[in-house]
Amino acid sequence: MTRGWTLRAFALLALAIAGLAALAACTSEDPTATPTATSAPQMEATEEPAMPATEEPGMEATQEPAMEETDDSMMEPEGQYGGTLAYWIRSDPPGWDPWGRTRFWDPTRKIAELVFNPLYSPAAQLGDSCEIDLDPEIAESWEYVEPTVLEFKLREGIQWHDKAPLNGRELTADDVAYTYNERFAKGLAGQAYVGQVFFDRAEAVDDYTVRIHLKQPFDFVRGVTSGNRQGWIVAEEASGEEALADPNLSWVGTGPFMFAEHETGTKVVFERNPNYFKEGLPYADTVEAHIIPDAATRIASLRSGLINVFPAAGPRVQEEIQRTNPDFFVKSCPSLFHLGIRMRLDKAPWNDVRVRRAVSMALDRQAIIDTALRGNGEIVLQGWPLDPETLQLEDYPEEIAEYQQYNPEKAKELLAEAGFPDGFSTTVVWTPAYGDPWQGVAEIMLTMLRAVGIDAQFNIQEYGPFLGMGSQQTWDDLYFGWNNSFDFNDLASTYYWSGQRPPNGLTLAPDATLDGLVADLWASTPETRPGVLTQLQHYVASAQYRITSPVWGNGIVARPEVKNVGWRGTNKMYHQIFENAWLEQ
């Protein structure tokens, strides 16, 4: 990755949405990268909606940063309506409840984003841009009217899809209050730290005004994933037990496309919403999500035209397409996804800090970048490497820094001290469903563990059971799972706070000192936060509770006839790809 470029991108990201992923302890899963765009897409010159005035607790209302202007040379005079946009998902949706356990699983998430809208979201980034700004969606503005009361003003005239059970009625503040009070607070997402520690209730003041009441001051806009993809607003009429089992009844939203049909094992089909509240959008008549489990078949399907958009393309796919199909659109943005080694901290040998340190020192992180990631990556220590609050290696005391560097001989010494002079055998729960580059990274990490005496073998699982085991901590020894938190409020609360639900490793083996540091972080002021973060990062780097691979480049590939593709690798918004893209007829 080009560090200067990506740090510039993160500066806006941190300003606008510093804690997007906090609401759901488990979020999405996919890649990352430096911008290596070819043939920028063409787009119609349109005026972006004004940024809403936002106000932090105790501060005057401020304007969100404006998006960078797009170069006129990248813009078509007008988009074209009609046609079918098609992409891949890895399996049939494992569930249809947009606020249920499977809502952040890859197949469900990638299609639900076409149907539902959050209150606000990162703006679509068209052409070569990977910058991130915050745009209104259902909400048009927001401000703190009191330190613990956040008020949202909603757009007027937003209609639910014109189909049963909502039949095109207008969305109101009651729908938003229902979503937060019933689906968020009482559901799985509300068990995470935002729901447990900060959220109190949502109140519909009038038809177009909603107030979020907090238990204590908190930056709700930046700290809740309604700014990402998981704050979907739903209606009570479409949320009954019977409806949630049937997408024809429950998948009735306000988004750019309407659910049409699901052909099991083949595809999920969506039709254009003619009453979408964003004027002139979407362009395509139909979007098809083709179920393609095999990675090679996905690439072949893109080349043949069965699909015309390939989201979440890792470094190898990007490299291959640029070599063989130079006329295809390829865009890669910095992302936060990486592979984490999760350990059963409540069981031997993983409850021994010497073993955990040995695991960390067994990993040659630069070799992973150079091989599996084609040179397109950044080393992860204790935070996302592009987060300005993340300490760099030189910021750690020498005696702690060594645990985050490749040293196989020292790793063997630590294992011997822990009572394993000849190493030991173990299993790693894993799924090949992620494909490239996840598979390559996982295989290299396994080989590196074996080189220091940890004889690790994959325990292969299907995608659904794999995710279930990960979210409930039901594996025996090791689990290679995705990590994607970049803001320290979210990272510390998701991975280091023992009260987190669904559980993390420390839920099973609480560390009172670390819980105290997380609480200190929540209560910190701008003046005290840097000191708390330094102390927290030093502590977890010494304890090695969380060991990860480097991050990598997350790209999108589209056939030449697809124009105006919106994509950011950090938080992929699938509705923004398909509501903005159009097909050259």
The string of DSSP codes covering 307-323 is -SEEEEE-HHHHHHHHH
The CATH architecture that domain 338-552 belongs to is: Roll (3.10)
* pLDDT tens, residue order, the chain (585 aa): 333 334 434 444 443 333 333 433 333 333 333 333 333 333 333 333 333 333 334 333 333 333 344 443 334 447 999 999 999 998 999 889 888 876 666 688 889 889 999 998 877 888 777 776 778 999 999 999 999 999 999 999 999 999 999 999 999 999 999 999 999 888 877 777 788 888 999 999 999 999 999 998 877 776 654 334 468 999 999 999 888 889 999 999 999 999 999 999 999 999 999 999 999 999 999 999 999 999 899 999 999 999 999 998 889 899 999 999 999 999 887 777 789 999 999 999 999 999 999 999 999 999 999 999 988 888 999 988 878 899 999 999 999 999 999 999 999 999 999 999 999 999 999 999 888 889 999 999 999 999 999 999 999 999 889 988 988 889 999 999 988 766 788 788 888 999 887 788 899 999 999 999 999 998 888 899 999 999 999 999 999 999 999 988 888 999 999 999 888 666 566 777 899 999 998
Distance CA 449, CA 271 (A): 48
> Do 257 and 287 form a contact (C-beta atoms < 8 A)?
yes
Q: What is the pLDDT of residue 221?
A: 76
What tens digit of pLDDT does each residue of 229-252 get?
Answer: 468 999 999 999 888 889 999 999
Max CA separation in the chain (angstroms)? 70
CA-to-CA dists, residue 481 to 26, 102, 170, 258, angstroms: 10, 16, 41, 32
Residues 6+ apart with CB under 8 A from 52: 64, 120, 136, 139, 140, 141, 142
Cα(110)–Cα(85) distance, rounded to whole angstroms? Answer: 14
Q: Is 92 helix (H, G, I), strand (E, B) or coil?
A: coil
pLDDT score at 585: 81
Helix (H) or strand (E) holding 353: helix 353-361
- Separation between Cα atoms, residue 404 and residue 364, nearest integer Å: 10
SS3 letters for 452-491?
CCEEEEEEECCHHHHHHHHHHCCCCCEEEEEECCCCHHHH
Residue (of 346, 365, 391, 378) closest to 570 by Cα position: 378
> Is the separation of the CB atoms in 429 and 479 below 8 Å?
yes
CB 48 within 8 A of CB 278: no
CA dihedral of 310, 314, 320, 325, whole degrees rounded to 10: 30
- 58/280 Cα distance (integer angstroms): 38
In this predicted structure, what is the pLDDT of residue 74? 38
Q: Tell me, what amino acid is at 542? A: S
Q: Residue type at 431?
A: T
Query: What residue ranges do the domains of the chain occupy?
Result: 3-44+52-57+79-334+553-583, 338-552
What's the CA gap between 232 and 183, in Å, rounded? 10
Question: What topology does CATH give the domain 3-44+52-57+79-334+553-583?
Answer: D-Maltodextrin-Binding Protein; domain 2 (3.40.190)
pLDDT tens digits, 197-225: 889 999 999 999 999 999 988 777 766 54
Question: At 368, which amino acid appears?
Answer: I
- Tell me the C-alpha distance between 506 and 67, whole Å: 40
Distance CA 148, CA 214 (A): 5
Nearest-angstrom CA–CA distance, 307 and 278: 26
- Contacts of 441 by beta carbon, 8 Å cutoff, 6+ apart: 339, 368, 372, 373, 549, 552
**What is the amino acid identity at position 41?**
P
